Amino acid sequence: MRMYRVLVPLLVLSLAVALGLSGCAPTEEALPIIKIGLNVELTGDIPKVGESCKRAAEMWLEDIEAAGGLEVGGKKYEVELVIEDNESKPESAAAAATKLITQDEVLAIVGPNASKVAIPAGEVCNNLECPMISPWSTNPRTTKDRPWVFRACFLDDFQGPVVARFVTEEFGFTKAAVLYDVASDYPKGLAEFFKQAWEEIHGPGSVVAFESFVTKDRDFSAQLTKIIASGAEFLFLPQYYDEVPLILKQAQELGFDKPVVGSDSWGSAELVKLAGPLCHGCFFSTHYAAAGAKGATKEFIDRYKEKYGEVPDDVAALTWDSVRIVEAAIKAVGEITGDLATDRKAVRDAMAAIKDFQGITGRMTFTEEGDPIKAAVIVRINEAGEFEFYKFVSPE
């Protein structure tokens, strides 16, 4: 029975350690900790998005900690941020969401940002009944038929008409041209929504050129020549900041001198660095404008800049609003019972009932689908290369 000579001491030792540990384990707090999950893209193809999201959320947590916790119904609760990396992969986003809900027992989840990860994560949150708010996902399917899923940004089917209305009112143009990437979900969707809205205002055929290319194309001269020949009065370019400079440059070389209007994907400091004076004077629609911001928005921008050394992008601003919506919902509940299912349901209901939430990216009220009704911002790139607030365009 030699093996027992080893096993018995091992057993005794482990029991002793166990008892010792349980003795010195921290005593349970009287109040439960409120946990907020963060399901973000820290690795994978868009790590910058995850980083901005994480930074904004951590800044929010600092505020809560400085206030000594989150006050709900007269009691101060400790708040914990549980951050999970979803690697920008759908299956990992689903796994991260499952883990946050079942393992970390979070009360609500903020993120993911990109639609390709927000859709599967939303499915998990909806099935497991945990409120989730995506700061940045614009695909309608993220929240569609999912009562537990919300978002903080407007959708492409809102942004398209916004641009169409803005151009009509501002310039009085009637003939539009569109150039977009057919293989990328965001530009394609937006281009189609814009076309639809423009033709509703100006009648069929008023989009005189609707030209496409494929991701990573670098020569746009064929499409641009067609656009110039079509007699369009301006070009709508719902492309990412890395492609816009190339297109602007080639358009200029081909002699296109009409205005170019963009979408929220333009909103990166990189755009101005790459395009230089070419983009000065252009307009684009977005969630918020950093230059010329006032009030709470300015306060947020200044703090973020001081803490991380860069101007917050729209993901950071939208994350800030998302965590504050969660905060507002928890406060509105008025009571944390400690029973997760009850609390989650209460938070979801409170979130759905939020009216006129004053966020830094605009005033929001949720529709039945969990999408916010909010105004878009039109930004003008000024001669100093700054994104300058131009005007609000409210939903009808």
234 near 259, Cβ under 8 Å? yes
Nearer to another protein, 14 or 394 (CB): 14
Nearer to another protein, 51 or 170 (CB): 51
Nearer to another protein, 186 or 300 (CB): 186
Instruction: Tell me the closest approach of the beta carbon of residue 332 to another protein, in angstroms.
Output: 28
Nearer to another protein, 127 or 221 (CB): 127
**Cα–Cα distance for residue pair 78/71, rounded to 1 Å:** 9
Instruction: Tell me the closest approach of the beta carbon of residue 124 to another protein, in angstroms.
Output: 8
Could you give the 3-state DSSP secondary structure of residue 69?
coil
Cis peptide before 112 (omega within 30 of 0): yes
Instruction: Tell me the closest approach of the beta carbon of residue 187 to another protein, in angstroms.
Output: 9
Report the side by side order of strands in the sheet with 362-366: 357-359, 362-366, 372-373
- For residue 274, the surrounding DSSP H or E stretch is helix 269-275
Residues that bind another protein (CB under 8 A): 1-3, 6-7, 10-11, 14-15, 17-18, 21-22, 24-26, 42-44, 47, 84-85, 89-92, 94-96, 98-99, 101-103, 105, 115-116, 119-120, 123, 127-128, 139, 141, 182-185, 188-189
Instruction: Tell me the closest approach of the beta carbon of residue 274 to another protein, in angstroms.
Output: 24
Q: Which amino acid does the sequence have at 157?
A: D
Distance of CA 145 to CAs 126, 186, 279, Å? Answer: 9, 21, 40
Nearer to another protein, 155 or 333 (CB): 155
Tokens 């001269």 correspond to: 221
Instruction: Tell me the closest approach of the beta carbon of residue 369 to another protein, in angstroms.
Output: 14
Nearer to another protein, 139 or 286 (CB): 139
Distance of CA 181 to CAs 184, 187, 325, Å? Answer: 6, 6, 34
Smallest Cα–Cα separation from 128: which of 106, 112, 113, 150?
106
Instruction: Tell me the closest approach of the beta carbon of residue 194 to another protein, in angstroms.
Output: 16
